[in-house]
Amino acid sequence: MLQKDKLLEIFNFRYACKRFSATKKISQEYFGVILESARLSPSSFGFEPWKFLVLNDKTLRNALKPVCWGGENALENASEFVVILARKKVDLVVDSAYIQYMIEEVQKIPSEIQKIKKDFFHRFLAEDFGLLKDDRKIFDWAGKQCYIALANMLTAAAALGIDSCAIEGFNEEAANKILSDAGIIDTAHFGVCVMVAFGYRDNDKNANRPKTRQSLEKIVQYV
């Protein structure tokens, strides 16, 4: 286990990198660890409603630049650029092929228990969280899980001395269209949730800015 000071050092090392080196690349071994931190991330009911598109293709990165104002430098220079996709309602309703696959093949839940889990899940979707009311609600719920994976990837990268930047600065509709027109995503099943770049800083003045955060007293309430 890490010493507490080391852990805090990792959180302080991470910052939103605005200028990535165009030449310093992440080793496949280290990037593999970042992807593994996403794969091992927890998700509600364990349904992993995500997919991680690693954009190696320069043409595709260039195509995204005009619609991704928050990630222009990252698309140009970052060693790795990941588009995190969230699943849509068609895959997340209780009788979908995807949920059946997760329960049976991934979670290996015995058939006599499957119905119990499905009933719980359906009640959660329909009543507890009211997620079946419109398509956007359930997509955003899938997105919440994606952000857990995002956070783990950011921290895993920092622990390996790798810089990163989460990116929401894009036009959602346009980004989906570019990836769909390129035949990469089926928008019936997936939508772009958030993007994230990894690499190494290059004379980035943001690296030395002190963190701006509210105090714990402002954000934590003991009751």
Ligand X SMILES: Cc1cc2nc3c(=O)[nH]c(=O)nc-3n(C[C@H](O)[C@H](O)[C@H](O)COP(=O)(O)O)c2cc1C
Query: Per rule CB under 6 A, is residue 165 in the interface with ligand X?
Result: yes
Dist CA 22 CA 30 (whole Å): 18
Considering the complex, what minimum distance in angstroms separates the CB of residue 169 from ligand X? 3
What phi and psi, each to the nearest 5 degrees, are found at residue 163?
A: -85, 160
Question: By C-beta, is 12 or 27 nearer to ligand X?
Answer: 12
Question: By C-beta, is 20 or 121 nearer to ligand X?
Answer: 20
Residue whose Cβ sits closest to ligand X = 70
Count CB neighbours of 213 within 10 A.
8
Segments in the chain forming alpha helices (H): 4-13, 28-39, 58-64, 72-77, 89-92, 97-101, 111-123, 135-159, 172-181, 216-219
Query: Per rule CB under 6 A, is residue 199 in the interface with ligand X?
Result: no
Question: By C-beta, is 92 or 165 nearer to ligand X?
Answer: 165
Query: Per rule CB under 6 A, is residue 157 in the interface with ligand X?
Result: no
Per-residue contact track with ligand X, 169 to 198, x per CB under 6 A?
A: x------------------------x----
Sign of CA dihedral 188, 115, 51, 155: positive
Name the amino acid, one letter, at 198.
F
Query: Per rule CB under 6 A, is residue 141 in the interface with ligand X?
Result: no
Using CB under 6 A, which residues numbered 79 to 118 contact ligand X?
none
**Is-contact 126 132, C-beta < 8 A?**
yes
Query: Which residues are near ligand X by CB under 6 A?
Result: 15-16, 18, 70-71, 165-169, 194, 211
